[in-house]
């Protein structure tokens, strides 16, 4: 079922035509949460295998409009992993040092080494999204970055990194509800920013920028998944299934005991 959310190379994104609601008929929140809980031990085991083998790294890229649930995925899905084997990176406004380098410099430093899982809460894609919509750099600058990113991701995969990119697809109306809940809940006020409303006012511009990024940076080695995100429980379940299947496809096994240690007895 989750292959339905895979954007195939050359396929148009057409986000306005895609539902942000669950598509599995009859699936309810309680059942989905039970399935998610049942998947977590397997995800934990697969991460431990990844760490033990040290032949691959896993990079999880999370992108989406404000309130689409990037933090929620990290908490409820990636939370199945051992924190010692993970690193979460969140890319904010570049520092003066970062601006003195090429825009991918800070990103490359945060990519995971073999055996580790890296999670990007926003990513290098901000440099063809925000900079485009907010006119931070000229079109001739951000227009060249699609190919830069494709080459960068090819470099990572050539070095053994598995890249899973998730666009969390939330509807305009659901975002309104989530922002309103943040304003109504004193414990969530710290999450609210006026920049969320400013970006919401440019919704169509951001959707157009996302469609361009999804289509032009969608390759066989680093494809995009467009995940319905209006229901958090379904979003989390679908991403967990994809992680499980992709990691199982590596056909990892436990490394054998070194020959040097065979025959050793423990007194």
**Predicted local distance difference test score (pLDDT) of residue 111:** 98
C-alpha 46/C-alpha 48 separation (Å) is 5
User: Average pLDDT for residues 34-45, to the nearest whole number?
Assistant: 96
Q: Cα torsion for 116, 122, 126, 130, to the nearest 10°?
A: -170
Residue 259: pLDDT over 90: no
Instruction: Walk across the sheet containing 86-90 and list its strands.
Output: 6-7, 224-228, 161-169, 57-64, 117-121, 86-90
**Predicted local distance difference test score (pLDDT) of residue 266:** 76
Residue 128: pLDDT over 80: yes
pLDDT in tens, 197-253: 888 999 999 999 999 999 999 999 999 999 999 999 999 999 999 999 999 999 999
pLDDT in tens, 138-190: 999 999 999 999 999 999 999 999 999 999 999 999 999 999 999 899 998 88
- For residue 90, with 0-12 CB atoms within 10 Å meaning exposed, 13-18 middle and 19 or more buried, which class applies? middle
Structure confidence at residue 2 as a pLDDT band (50, 70, 90):
low
Only one residue has tokens 């790294």, namely 57
Residue 4: pLDDT over 90: no
Percent of the chain with pLDDT over 90: 86
The CA–CA distances, whole Å, from 126 to 129, 142, 166, 261 equal 5, 10, 14, 49
pTM, rounded to two decimals: 0.94
What are the sequence ranges of the domains in the chain?
2-15+27-250
**Predicted local distance difference test score (pLDDT) of residue 191:** 86
Is there a contact between 156 and 163 (Cβ–Cβ < 8 Å)? yes
DSSP 80: G
Average confidence score pLDDT of the chain: 94
The CATH class of the 2-15+27-250 domain is alpha beta
């Amino acid at each position: 079922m989750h292959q339905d959310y895979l954007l195939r190379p050359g396929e148009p994104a057409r986000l306005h035509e895609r539902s942000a609601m669950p598509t599995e008929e009859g699936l309810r929140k309680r059942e989905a949460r039970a399935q998610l809980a049942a998947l977590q031990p397997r995800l934990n085991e697969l991460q431990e295998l990844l760490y033990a083998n040290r032949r691959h790294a896993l990079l999880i890229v999370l992108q989406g409009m404000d309130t689409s649930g990037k933090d929620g995925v990290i908490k409820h899905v990636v939370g199945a992993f051992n924190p010692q084997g993970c690193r979460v990176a969140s890319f904010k406004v570049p520092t003066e040092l970062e601006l003195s380098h090429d825009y991918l410099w800070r990103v490359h430093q945060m990519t995971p080494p073999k055996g580790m899982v890296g999670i990007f809460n926003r990513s290098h894609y901000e440099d063809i999204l925000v900079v485009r919509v907010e006119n931070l750099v000229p079109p001739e600058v951000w227009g060249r970055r699609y190919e830069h990113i494709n080459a960068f991701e090819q470099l990572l995969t050539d070095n053994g990194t598995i890249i899973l990119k998730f666009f969390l697809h939330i509807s305009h109306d659901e975002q309104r509800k989530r922002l309103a809940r943040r304003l109504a809940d004193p414990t969530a006020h710290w999450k609210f920013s006026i920049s969320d409303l400013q970006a919401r006012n440019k919704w169509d511009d951001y959707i157009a920028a996302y469609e361009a990024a999804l289509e032009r940076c969608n390759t066989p080695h680093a494809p995009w998944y467009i995940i319905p995100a209006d229901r958090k429980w379904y979003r989390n379940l679908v991403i967990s299934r994809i992680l499980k299947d992709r990691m199982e496809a590596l056909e990892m096994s436990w490394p054998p005991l070194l020959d040097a240690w065979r025959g050793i007895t423990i007194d």
